[in-house]
A = this chain, B = another copy of it.
Amino acid sequence: MAEFQLIERYFSGLSGARQDVALGVGDDCALLQPPSGMQLAMTMDTLIAGRHFLPDTNPRRLGHKVLAVNLSDLAAMGARPAWALLSISLPEIDHAWLAEFSAGFAALAARHDLALVGGDTCQGEMSFSLQLTGFVEAGKELRRDGARPGDRIWVTGFLGDAALALKRLQAAEEPGALSGRLEQPRPRIAEGLALSGAGATSCIDISDGLASDLGHVCRQSGCAARVHLDRLPLSPAMARHVAKTGDYSLALAGGDDYELCFTLPADSTPPAGVDATCIGEMFPGEGVKLVDAGGREVPPPRGWEHFA
């Protein structure tokens, strides 16, 4: 089956009803009409089987996850999703698998009024490259480089659940309700939009783990972060894990959280609609410092890094 027909068959109909898509899948390029007075926020990531997800992941959940991971980058910028291009590489064509994958992708795309406007398919190891474009008003974008000493550090949701689910799956244990946190992360688009223009001095999405991603904010903002371990937002399952093992490393460096980590001036609180926990504060210096409940500094676990 030709590449063209493959794309058409599974991904037509995902152009949605957006008025700004002048031409979708099927030509050499898609044609889009950008809104006047808005900046475009663009991101692109590749997910590879065995590295970013388990090869036997349920295809509908995988379709969701591939999109969710990239939407999380738009969320971190305070951008509203608009258009997607998707490049799919598969070792062979499995029609039932593709139908499930595209259904999972489509359901999440529809929820965010995102149109799939292009891409390609080819034969190779299973991987997905997704490029997204969103809109954000100039001056309202959330960047990594604006945190200042004295700012408070906040995170949405809970940390470490996806890593705990993965750990259990790899140990052939039943992850239970945690599997949704690994395979169906909810991108914090609404929270990003609420934070945009609401005084946040920096924002990043937590994909490689809090320690690593907050480290990017420190480096790009030119200051240091202090994180209080006893203030980390933990689900009941993760709280039990920590109580049993004394080990915070999954919450700090497990990765795949897709929560937002942002900073606010000390006298501010998150805007309505953003359910977040204050976990520490920025101060002059560099790097991420961890302190335990007794105020003692503890060494940071290594964040998961590509080619590490």
Interface set of A (CB-CB < 8 Å, partner B): 1-4, 6, 22-23, 26-34, 36, 39-46, 48, 51-52, 73-74, 76-77, 79, 83, 85-87, 89, 93, 117-125, 127, 129, 131, 133-134, 136, 138, 141, 143-145, 203-205, 216, 220, 305-308
Contacts and interface: CB of A to CB of B under 8 A. Distances in A.
A256 to B, nearest CB: 14
12 contacts: A1-B307, A2-B307, A2-B308, A28-B144, A31-B77, A32-B42, A34-B34, A42-B85, A44-B131, A46-B122, A51-B124, A52-B122
Contact of A44 (B34, B73, B120): B120
A125 B220 CA distance: 31
Contacts of A145: 27
Given A31-B136, A41-B31, A125-B124, A2 B85 contact: no
Which of A27, A39, A79, A89 has the most chain B CB atoms inside 10 A of its CB? Answer: A27
Contacts of A2: 305-308
Which of A22, A45, A89, A131 has the most chain B CB atoms inside 10 A of its CB? Answer: A131
Number of this chain's copies in the assembly equals 2
Nearest to A6: B307
B124 A48 contact: yes
B46 A41 contact: no
Contact of A34 (B23, B40, B52): B40
Contacts of A45: 87, 120
B307 A93 contact: yes
Contact of A306 (B23, B41, B77, B123): B123
Contacts of A41: 29-31
Contact of A117 (B32, B42, B136): B42
Contacts of A117: 42
